[in-house]
Amino acid sequence: MMRKSKLIITITSILLAALMLTGCKWGKKPSPDYPEPPEDSNAETFVETDEGKLDKNEGGGAVGLTYQTDVTVSIGSGSVGLFFANPSRSVDNLSIVLYVDGFRVAESGVIQPGNQITTLTLNEVGTRTIKDLGAREGKILVEFYNAETNEKAVVNTEIPVRVIVVN
């Protein structure tokens, strides 16, 4: 009898240790590995024709993009002028990151379907590294998020852009 209770205690201890090591939390919804950033405060309604939502396969997403490839950086004001929209036919949220000369210089918050942004603010890296006036190559990294779970999608998109730096 004593041997049987020691075995039960040992098995129970092992199970509890395994649960603690794996981070099991009863009653809590697991947080996504790459949480969605907050909604972009500069987002405004994007006016478009109603084409209906895109079809989305189970476990997938669907996004339509509308953007311009010319981006203006004002080093005097620390602002970025651009046009980027997440049309209402999209089913997922997105955010964008601007890279210039290989540096991450500005990023948006979440742009929900039916919204657009036309300005970003340079981050500290952008204000420190962008000094020379003129045109150069850059890219916009588009990161997608599931609108229901806020989990970051595995797929991202890079869009080459022409960056014009002004005073």
- Confidence (pLDDT) at 25: 47
pLDDT in tens, 125-156: 999 999 999 999 999 999 999 988 889 998 89
- Would you say the pTM of this structure is higher than 0.75? no
Contacts of 119 by beta carbon, 8 Å cutoff, 6+ apart:
42, 79, 80, 81, 82
**Over 50: is that where the pLDDT of 29 sits?**
no
Give the C-alpha separation, 107 to 75, whole Å: 16
DSSP 106-131: EE--BB-TTEEEEEEE--HHHHHH--
Q: Would you state the pLDDT for residue 161?
A: 98
Domain boundaries, the chain: 44-166
DSSP letter for 92, please: S
> Which DSSP letter does residue 8 get?
H
Q: What is the pLDDT of residue 39?
A: 83
Does the structure show a pLDDT above 90 at 35?
A: no
The per-residue pLDDT of the chain, averaged, comes to 85
More confident residue, 160 or 147: 160
Q: How many CB atoms lie within 10 A of CB 138?
A: 23
For 44-166, give the CATH class: mainly beta
Sign of CA dihedral 32, 122, 165, 93: positive
Q: How confident is the model at residue 16 (pLDDT cuts 50, 70, 90)?
A: low
